[in-house]
Structure 1
């Protein structure tokens, strides 16, 4: 794999790390499903993923999306994977193609078309009938994908199957079928969690880590398999993910990592889907904490699932009780609370993940050459909420100290009067020089005797983020709420502060957030607070402070916003305003919701399967749902590149948006706003909103905040606000005169 078979000009695998262009690297991958995203948004989405620090994207190829009827195969329109791969090549991002045949992704039959289920009852084995069907499917995929495989192309990985635990011979057979069909890649991967037995030497095992999961049983508490991802450990297997598909009583054997391969992940929870019976919220800090812990554990490759949400391309192709699965999923909604939601709108984790990814981009080549070490007194029990959780990655001479005191549901306690003593070859490092309190909620990565651009950080009590280029490069340090940012440089380091004063840093120095110093005339250190860290975009040589999503197209800077962008550019000394123009007419308009019918009290359960509540059918919804007519302003005058969204703030159990009486979107309530992409909706469509009430007696597992809202009302059902939002592309004006000539112009403030 990668070295002797299917060698690649840029990508090579070792037992310690992945090499890119001949150098150790720590790739970062984000999952999106091209068939769940309108084709017109592919390029912008990929550019935004790159802008947020990803080096590659992964995508399922769902068989049921392409061949729902036997012999009627489509790779047209939004299903055109060849066009998607062409777009990835144009953007310059690598791709991992997950070809199944069984994928899951909350798709009916795991992605197997119904006719495959009927024709091959022994699917997912080396049953000859199934292998013939799989062979034909791989040939169809190869006809589209093979032109993008090869030693200098962007397809660098192919995943075989998904969450298959006890069929190593079948996985090896599928790999050979894929190769026979013409597919090739330097990396062949398979999911390794759940005690999976994989064929030796054939596939690279990848692991997972979710903060919470919809797949847990009705009424269950926060499972230990979720708690485990918030502590530092060298156990990579995860017995929780996919456990709902196993037969009851089957023991999951947690397996050691294969020393032939570096520890790597393909499914760090970048959010969470919503099932009918269980609706957890994956908050941004939950996701960032898991990602930080996995790096502290020694990860050599980070993959997030999902990074971009989406919408199912057809009705009734989701996982559901009706098809024998233990979980009912929405018919259309696959927002996943991702870094970019189903409409492309930024989610709560995006800023935190950009900060995390910028660190990996700047220092990943060093990290993968560093071993992970755990303290002797590391917590051994996931229920230990008081012991400080930390780890070190070091090559013996320098490294990083990782700290985690953030955890959802069961907060971890802080620790007073902390100093770390870490043995390195040049003598022990004491961090910091005086005891410091570490509060609850800290997600940290502190440098240890780190050399960069001729400057040595002995240590810092602020996290290393990214690096901005320039004549004098800038290292960004993220201060933590409740911890003073303090830096100890090597003796003799010369510092120049913002006032132009030169001092020799013989002792540790405090650097206030929002200020910077220059060390040895060769490196600027900029300290930012948590809020500003989440606004920063690291775009090559550019460092941009923007709440709105921003990316590069060629040499141009582009922002998507429904308002005048507020952005600033780091000059190497300060943040200065950036001027943007657009020829379109973005904005937000309040939408009227006209009540048509009041809701009725629903039953405690509409149905039950495997001990889990079943989502209501259309007929059951019509019996109890409240109905509103949506008088949305016409959207047929938007310019090319504009995006129209309906943002609905609502309360209830299940909501459906219907156009002309046909369900076009749906959502299970979890307390979050519902964003719907209406860009391609036919003008003047007759829209109605149908909401099923929820009561304190409804057997639904909700997030604590949502549950409190239900408990406060005997019948919760309503629309708080509906807004139609038109966002557009804004481009950076070449000059101030150009900005003044634009229809809209804004000066950002740093």
Structure 2
């Protein structure tokens, strides 16, 4: 293989051999459910029902969220493309007082597991004893450190308490493993063992006191596994966090990796290497304690955001999350997992707050796709587009090997000049990956043409002229893709999803800003192109199609075998509003200005501050019934049936007072009408940190990091009926501080203290339910 670059033109000869797919160390570590569904592994990817599978894992800590909303949040995760849920079991949350276990309310592990099972969401349980998760003592209770043994070791005293913990967890998981018909497919023992500890907050005197990272290597993990199985926890497989040369058992344990670019633990962090192309299966990013060629490259902790701390307050944008995912897929990761996918709030302990020092006492929003109170973030839509792609094309992508052009290995994170791109391929077919995002560096727009020579012929992007890869953008483009007999030589549009409608394949792509949509198709594979708008031309042995992007347009192709294929080319904005659901008895593409999820066969549409919502369906349903409080109207947009939903705007009675400097109180009418799903308080303030209280308890807190503070009140509505929401700011100081000791510590500050509420806004979240029936005959 080789590549040459002249100006904006790249020419590459793809002559790599196909990836060797064989049995690996994880092969045989799967199993079957009573329904006959199965998981297993090769050396390169996971299989589901004996087919290659690239799952999307979303981390959601049940104990950090209100249990009455667990089901709704799990359904939002499922709608967002999560196919496996992961969750920690924090020991100190459940046994803060020695011998007193609590599995009730927000700590009800069994209820959470049952909800995952109800909604067919497989689950990986991360059971510790050490978890970290930015929890006090890494999740270990304070009382544990009063005993004369070494934690995280094979010390018999420590193992006694580890076994007691595991026995309690096993009771909660009884009958819940996949082979028994439950959702639990895997268990993680320990976390970052032999790699990292956590602040020992039980010590209480200095920030520099850390819990040991461990000393017994694989033998300790082997012992923990023996204990887990002895008390009844027998999952199909175990997982281990494997970065930083952490210990990984050789058999039955899937090593999992992490990718973070905005890292508070690295002072003055330089641009990271997370957005560069490399073959992770052949050459992991860092040293690991296992033979990478024997296991799939799997990520359990791609940064879905980052938690701010008092000393480091990074902002993680949606571009970074999308770009990192695309780069890791290009690099051979065949499992992508997000930490966090869903944020939350630490419970308040009986003796102390349960946060790790220097972090907020309660909030663990993490800037994640779904936030502390269920806030839907911009990265939620980005991840969903990639999850839809993996659901539709993961079976095709998973066996494809990485081909990284030689010049890519020399690119450094600071390099803004060279184009970053890579390929995954099998037998001359595959996907082109491009990235123009780098943390802490501004990347320029790029006008490029890429010429890819494979055993199946030449693919040009675009066929004539150039296309633009805009700053912050990453993309996945197909080459030599056989789509039900239609041979796509190249396309400047990104695959989104595909599904069958009335025995006809519908393939959905979307056009990136700066890239004119183009399909170049092998002329011998098609006999007719039916398209009302756009251009079609036959040039030699190629049919070149330039469609109009947008859901109002589509085209139909007849293959040489007489098969009809419908192609929809969405705009980028439409793709970010798109979902794939089976609803109303059919697989459908749904595009909406609102956010969607399905519960009890009902499509639920939620929207913040917009009492009017638009929902478009393909195939269009024969009939749609909306919630009785909503007014709906119907229209036709191309092949989509579009429904406009209108609910009555609501303005709750709100009283905001400022009883003293740096403080505010808010009283709110809680008799919300049925169209109101939640009420959000958006607080624009200046200051250092802030806190919110209701009655005698703290609701949450906030470390200022440049973004507005968002509070969802649905969980606290019952308290707000009688009590005010109290907000307080600790001001930030700008000036100089002198300190000295005169019997006691004395601090004198010269300067200004800034603490100010700029604006407190009430934002209504509306909800409408839709019941769909049948498919309209004119679809």
TM-score norm. by structure 1 comes to 0.84
Other-structure match for 1:675: 710
**Residues 735 and 522 of structure 1: is their aligned pair in 2 closer, same or farther, counting only changes over 3 Å?**
closer
Question: Of 478, 488, 491, which residue of structure 2 is paired with 1:457?
Answer: 488
Other-structure match for 1:603: none
Question: Of 510, 516, 521, which residue of structure 1 is paired with 2:546?
Answer: 510
Matched residues in 1 for 2:773 and 2:639: separation?
A: 19
Q: Secondary structure at the match of 1:301?
A: strand
**Residues 588 and 508 of structure 1: is their aligned pair in 2 closer, same or farther, counting only changes over 3 Å?**
farther
**Deviation of 1:67 (Å):** 0.8
Other-structure match for 2:211: none
Is the CA contact 1:193–1:237 (under 8 Å) kept in the aligned structure 2?
no
Mean CA deviation greater in 475-484 or 293-302: 475-484
Is the CA contact 2:29–2:237 (under 8 Å) kept in the aligned structure 1?
no
Is 1:730 the counterpart of 2:778? The answer is no
Is the CA contact 1:318–1:330 (under 8 Å) kept in the aligned structure 2?
no
Matched residues in 2 for 1:641 and 1:170: separation?
A: 52
Matched residues in 1 for 2:534 and 2:317: separation?
A: 42
Question: Of 663, 678, 687, which residue of structure 2 is paired with 1:652?
Answer: 687
CA offsets 1:621-655 (integer angstroms, 9 cap, x no match):
xxxxx11222x213255669943433322222101
Other-structure match for 1:432: 462
Other-structure match for 1:522: 564
Is 1:172 the counterpart of 2:187? The answer is no
Is 1:21 the counterpart of 2:21? The answer is no
CA offsets 1:77-108 (integer angstroms, 9 cap, x no match):
11111111111111111111111111111110
**Residues 347 and 635 of structure 1: is their aligned pair in 2 closer, same or farther, counting only changes over 3 Å?**
same
Matched residues in 1 for 2:100 and 2:112: separation?
A: 21
The 5 A counterparts of 1:186-205 are: 186-205=236-255
**Deviation of 1:200 (Å):** 1.6
**Deviation of 1:676 (Å):** 2.0
Is 1:388 the counterpart of 2:419? The answer is yes
RMSD of Structure 2 on Structure 1 (CA): 2.8
Question: Of 227, 230, 233, which residue of structure 1 is paired with 2:275?
Answer: 230
Other-structure match for 2:318: 284
Question: Of 557, 578, 599, which residue of structure 2 is paired with 1:553?
Answer: 599
Matched residues in 2 for 1:714 and 1:291: separation?
A: 43
Matched residues in 1 for 2:245 and 2:769: separation?
A: 50
Is 1:576 the counterpart of 2:606? The answer is no
Matched residues in 1 for 2:233 and 2:491: separation?
A: 47
Mean CA deviation greater in 137-146 or 549-558: 549-558
Matched residues in 1 for 2:617 and 2:383: separation?
A: 20
Q: Secondary structure at the match of 1:74?
A: coil
**Residues 191 and 507 of structure 1: is their aligned pair in 2 closer, same or farther, counting only changes over 3 Å?**
same
Matched residues in 2 for 1:543 and 1:392: separation?
A: 28
Is the CA contact 2:602–2:771 (under 8 Å) kept in the aligned structure 1?
no
Other-structure match for 1:100: 128
CA offsets 1:590-638 (integer angstroms, 9 cap, x no match):
844322223xxxxxxxxxxxxxxxxxxxxxxxxxxx11222x2132556
Mean CA deviation greater in 644-653 or 71-80: 644-653
**Residues 6 and 479 of structure 1: is their aligned pair in 2 closer, same or farther, counting only changes over 3 Å?**
closer
Is the CA contact 2:477–2:495 (under 8 Å) kept in the aligned structure 1?
yes
Is the CA contact 2:137–2:356 (under 8 Å) kept in the aligned structure 1?
no
Mean CA deviation greater in 153-162 or 291-300: 153-162
Mean CA deviation greater in 12-21 or 548-557: 548-557
Other-structure match for 1:612: none
Matched residues in 2 for 1:377 and 1:255: separation?
A: 28
**Deviation of 1:503 (Å):** 7.0
Matched residues in 2 for 1:693 and 1:468: separation?
A: 55
Matched residues in 2 for 1:698 and 1:89: separation?
A: 57
Q: Secondary structure at the match of 1:597?
A: coil
Q: Secondary structure at the match of 1:387?
A: coil
Q: Secondary structure at the match of 2:382?
A: helix
The 5 A counterparts of 1:144-163 are: 144-151=172-179, 152-163=181-192
Matched residues in 1 for 2:284 and 2:664: separation?
A: 44
**Deviation of 1:568 (Å):** 1.8
Question: Of 58, 67, 70, which residue of structure 2 is paired with 1:39?
Answer: 67
**Residues 468 and 391 of structure 1: is their aligned pair in 2 closer, same or farther, counting only changes over 3 Å?**
same
Is the CA contact 1:30–1:305 (under 8 Å) kept in the aligned structure 2?
yes
Runs of 5+ consecutive residues of structure 2 not aligned to the other structure: 1-24, 195-214, 621-637, 738-750, 775-779
Is the CA contact 1:535–1:545 (under 8 Å) kept in the aligned structure 2?
yes
CA offsets 1:105-160 (integer angstroms, 9 cap, x no match):
11101111111232265111111111110000000000001320141431111111
Is the CA contact 1:550–1:557 (under 8 Å) kept in the aligned structure 2?
yes
Matched residues in 2 for 1:416 and 1:503: separation?
A: 24
**Deviation of 1:376 (Å):** 1.4
Matched residues in 2 for 1:418 and 1:377: separation?
A: 17
Is the CA contact 1:635–1:644 (under 8 Å) kept in the aligned structure 2?
no
Matched residues in 1 for 2:723 and 2:671: separation?
A: 11
**Deviation of 1:253 (Å):** 4.6
Mean CA deviation greater in 192-201 or 176-185: 192-201
Question: Of 570, 573, 577, which residue of structure 2 is paired with 1:531?
Answer: 573
Is 1:693 the counterpart of 2:738? The answer is no
Is the CA contact 1:193–1:239 (under 8 Å) kept in the aligned structure 2?
no
Matched residues in 2 for 1:417 and 1:722: separation?
A: 46
**Residues 317 and 527 of structure 1: is their aligned pair in 2 closer, same or farther, counting only changes over 3 Å?**
same
Matched residues in 1 for 2:730 and 2:507: separation?
A: 51
Is the CA contact 1:215–1:275 (under 8 Å) kept in the aligned structure 2?
no
Matched residues in 2 for 1:304 and 1:650: separation?
A: 30
**Deviation of 1:42 (Å):** 1.1
Other-structure match for 1:115: 143
Other-structure match for 2:86: 58
Mean CA deviation greater in 192-201 or 568-577: 568-577
Other-structure match for 1:615: none
Mean CA deviation greater in 545-554 or 392-401: 545-554
Is 1:7 the counterpart of 2:35? The answer is no
Other-structure match for 1:362: 392
Q: Secondary structure at the match of 2:130?
A: coil
Matched residues in 2 for 1:80 and 1:635: separation?
A: 28
Question: Of 276, 287, 297, which residue of structure 1 is paired with 2:331?
Answer: 297
**Residues 432 and 479 of structure 1: is their aligned pair in 2 closer, same or farther, counting only changes over 3 Å?**
same
Matched residues in 2 for 1:71 and 1:259: separation?
A: 44
Matched residues in 1 for 2:177 and 2:420: separation?
A: 43
Q: Which has a greater percent of strand?
A: 2
Is 1:320 the counterpart of 2:356? The answer is yes
Q: Secondary structure at the match of 2:464?
A: strand
Q: Secondary structure at the match of 1:532?
A: helix
Matched residues in 1 for 2:282 and 2:756: separation?
A: 43
Is the CA contact 1:238–1:254 (under 8 Å) kept in the aligned structure 2?
no
**Deviation of 1:350 (Å):** 1.0
Mean CA deviation greater in 369-378 or 428-437: 428-437
Other-structure match for 1:324: none
Matched residues in 2 for 1:181 and 1:320: separation?
A: 30
Q: Secondary structure at the match of 1:313?
A: coil
**Deviation of 1:421 (Å):** 1.9
Matched residues in 1 for 2:405 and 2:641: separation?
A: 44
**Residues 285 and 309 of structure 1: is their aligned pair in 2 closer, same or farther, counting only changes over 3 Å?**
same
CA offsets 1:314-342 (integer angstroms, 9 cap, x no match):
25444433xxxxxx111111111111111
Is the CA contact 1:311–1:332 (under 8 Å) kept in the aligned structure 2?
yes
Is the CA contact 1:146–1:184 (under 8 Å) kept in the aligned structure 2?
no
Other-structure match for 1:739: none
Mean CA deviation greater in 332-341 or 506-515: 506-515
Is the CA contact 1:333–1:665 (under 8 Å) kept in the aligned structure 2?
yes
Is the CA contact 1:236–1:256 (under 8 Å) kept in the aligned structure 2?
no
Matched residues in 1 for 2:773 and 2:568: separation?
A: 27
**Deviation of 1:268 (Å):** 0.4
Residues matched between the structures, number: 670
Question: Of 587, 596, 615, which residue of structure 2 is paired with 1:567?
Answer: 615
Is 1:265 the counterpart of 2:303? The answer is no
Is 1:482 the counterpart of 2:514? The answer is yes
